[in-house]
A = this chain, B = another copy of it.
């Protein structure tokens, strides 16, 4: 970070401090060096984890922490003894590290990044939910103050644990997340939440076949006419199972053009998980991998594992009357009956039909009857997680409570120990800089929101007007509502200085030049509000302030 970038970063940090303080969070700072042993206890350190590891000169095993659930749980578990110390909310803003497989887009995804991480500790799930709401309110206020067009989406908890989480995202074409929003009911969610089940706001028509078999082949009803089917393939991690997903590839939507749908790996993964298949989404040529695994099994004379094929049928696709295995058998040079075959047209252990495809703009909302869905590429800036006891149980972070609090019917006056209810809540500081710069910039340069701009106002003194520039600067800097202001008195040509100010993206540019000499007026520019006005000195401070309030 060079000086101006660092000012932006420090302003974001101060903004975060302000909103964390608003609900009594305490600021701490943990070491970036942490212990591999601790992370093994929580079960999060695996051979393929994106974590930098190394040994010190005495062969102690260190890691560079990418986040601090383990350390914070151990710390708080060691300090807090009784439920009377709860709720407890602690946060930090620090450098985090990740051995990122694909570092890219500058600060958006790097090996070293700055993150605010807040950890909350409560006595019961109910109080933890209250805390969760309080944090979300603070997040909303923080993002509102930034004045950026953010969305809050229901999100997947991923490998954090827990089962409730929300993402704060900024829509931008270069974003890596896909967020779905409804035009009517305001439901917003990350497409990662696709669980493979058909959800509709209307009652689902009863299925013609509750027990899947190959005799019935029910005909899809109430759906747009499918023109042709698509076939998605993947394998299990042991390469023994080939998973095939049959989905509606082209169908007629409202218009005359056929619309192409895409398979959702999240949906397929969710169904596979429920069916007990450990799907490996990183395999690029699943059919070949499966076939060569099959040949290897045959060659070794091993009969322990029969090659397996599992078919998933989207509710919009007609189920084949008999297992479509002949092509596969030919490819893998075996007989059809050598293959163990299973199919699902219902979500395992439920009667829900399957949906294997991604949301397409214009799809109906599953939450309300009237809305249609839109998808947005977006960058994740913040994430809130309710973690429950995922870490506190494993690391034994418990508090002593009277039994009555856990069980209101208890008559004893004894105490008991329970693990704390935990939440964690991040904001990506360095990625926020890139994302906001990216979304608000135009062809002439950056455009910083006032609250995180390196300076709110620049005074450009034109050649030969250094003294006048200083006068105007002093007038603004000493006014009652003094903005964060800088004087550019470098000895450069006027257009170079204006160009430079545009590039840097000051919210307001004050030019002390010809119009001051001619008519004692100061030129005030604001690209985002499309303002370019000449203002007398007496009105300058007030006018600048009125612009800043809109930015």
A residues lining the B interface (CB < 8 Å) = 1-3, 6, 9, 26-33, 50, 52-54, 56-57, 62, 64, 90, 95, 97, 99, 101, 111-112
Contacts of A62 in B (CB 8 A): 52
Q: Which residues of B contact A29 (CB under 8 A)?
A: 1, 6, 9
Given contacts A32-B32, A32-B95, A57-B99, 5 further A-B contacts (CB under 8 A): A2-B28, A3-B90, A6-B28, A52-B56, A57-B101
Chain B residues near A28: list those with CB within 8 A. Answer: 1-3, 6
Q: For residue A1, which residue of chain B has the nearest CB?
A: B29
In the complex formed, the residue of B with least CB distance to A3 is: B26
Q: Which of B6, B31, B97, B112 contacts A112 (CB 8 A)?
A: B31
User: For residue A7, which residue of chain B has the nearest CB?
Assistant: B27
Distance from A97 Cβ to chain B, minimum over Cβ atoms (Å): 7
Instruction: Say whether, besides A2-B28, A95-B95, A111 and B52 are in contact (CB < 8 Å).
Output: no
For the complex of A and B, 6 pairs with smallest distance between CB atoms: A54-B54, A1-B29, A3-B26, A33-B112, A6-B29, A31-B112
| A52-B54, A54-B52, A95-B95 known; A3+B31 contact, CB < 8 A | no
Contact (Cβ within 8 A) B112 A32: yes
Q: Residues of B contacting A90 with CB < 8 Å?
A: 3
- The residues of B that contact A26 with a CB separation of less than 8 Å are 3
Question: Which of B31, B53, B95, B101 lies in contact with A54, CB distance below 8 A?
Answer: B53
Q: Which residues of B contact A27 (CB under 8 A)?
A: 3, 6
* Cα separation A374 to B6 with both chains bound (whole Å): 45
* Contact between chains at B6 and A56 (CB < 8 Å): no
Which residues of B lie under 8 Å from residue A2 when comparing CB positions? 28
With both chains docked as a complex, state the minimum distance between the C-beta of A91 and any C-beta of chain B, in angstroms.
10
Chain B residues contacting A33 (CB-CB under 8 Å) are 97, 111-112
Give me 26 A-to-B residue pairs in the complex whose CB atoms sit less than 8 angstroms apart, sorted by A's number.
A1-B29, A1-B30, A2-B28, A3-B26, A3-B27, A3-B28, A3-B90, A6-B27, A6-B28, A9-B29, A31-B112, A32-B32, A32-B95, A32-B112, A33-B97, A33-B111, A33-B112, A50-B57, A52-B54, A52-B56, A52-B62, A54-B54, A56-B111, A57-B101, A64-B64, A95-B95
Closest CB in chain B relative to A413 CB, distance in Å: 22
Within the complex, what minimum Cβ distance (angstroms) separates A496 from chain B? 15
Q: How far is the CA of A28 from the CA of B27 in the complex (A)?
A: 23
Report A364 CB to chain B, min CB distance, Å. 43
- Closest residue of chain B to A63 (Cβ to Cβ) is B54
Contacts of A111 in B (CB 8 A): 33, 56
The interface residues of chain B lying within 8 Å CB-to-CB of A56 are 52, 99, 111
Task: Specify which chain B residues have a CB less than 8 angstroms from the CB of A50 in the assembled complex.
Answer: 57
Complex Cα distance, B64 from A549, in Å, reads: 43
* Chain B minimum-CB-distance residue to A9: B29
Which residues of B are found within 8 Å of A101, using beta-carbon distances?
Answer: 57
Q: How far is the CB of A90 from chain B (nearest CB, A)?
A: 8
Q: Please indicate the chain B residues that have their CB under 8 angstroms from the CB of A6 in the complex.
A: 27-29
Q: Whole-angstrom distance from the CB of A232 to the nearest CB of chain B?
A: 28
The docked-state distance in angstroms from the alpha carbon of A31 to that of B32 is 13
A33 to B53, CA, bound (A): 13
Return A380 CB to nearest CB of chain B, in Å.
22
A247 to B53, CA, bound (A): 49
Contacts of A31 in B (CB 8 A): 112
Closest chain B residue, CB of each to CB of A113: B31
Chain B residues near A97 (CB, 8 Å)?
33
From A9, A33, A50, A97, name the one whose CB has the most chain B CB atoms within 10 angstroms.
Answer: A33
**Contact residues in B for A9 (Cβ distance below 8 Å):** 29
Give CA–CA (A29, B114) in the complex, Å.
12
Bound state CA distance, A27 and B3, in angstroms? 5
Q: Looking across the interface, which residue of chain B has its beta carbon closest to that of A75?
A: B2
The residue of chain B having its C-beta at the shortest distance from the C-beta of A97 within the complex is: B33
**Closest residue to A94 on the B side, CB-wise?**
B95
Give Cα distance in the complex from A97 to B54, angstroms: 13
Residue of A26, A29, A95 with most chain B CB atoms under a 10 A cut-off: A29
CB distance from A86 to the nearest CB of B (A): 15
Q: How far is the CA of A6 from the CA of B64 in the complex (A)?
A: 21
A116 smallest CB distance to B (angstroms) = 14
Question: Which of chain B's residues have a CB closer than 8 A to the CB of A99?
Answer: 56-57
CA distance A533 to B56 in the complex (A): 54
* Distance (whole angstroms) from the CB of A120 to the closest CB of chain B: 15
Rounded to whole angstroms, the CA-CA distance of A33 and B32 in the bound complex is: 12
Q: Please, how many angstroms separate the alpha-carbon atoms of A154 and B416 in the complex? A: 62
Q: Which residue of B lies closest to A33 (CB)?
A: B112
A27 CA to B2 CA, complexed, in Å: 7
* A423 to B: closest C-beta gap in Å: 19
In the complex, what distance in Å separates the CA atom of A495 from the CA atom of B180?
A: 59
* Docked complex Cα distance between A409 and B56 (Å): 56
What's the least CB distance linking A87 to chain B, in Å?
15
Q: How far is the CB of A224 from chain B (nearest CB, A)?
A: 44
Expressed in whole angstroms, the Cα–Cα distance for A54 and B36 within the complex equals 15
Least Cβ–Cβ distance between A409 and chain B, in angstroms: 29
* Assembly CA distance A112 to B30 (angstroms): 11
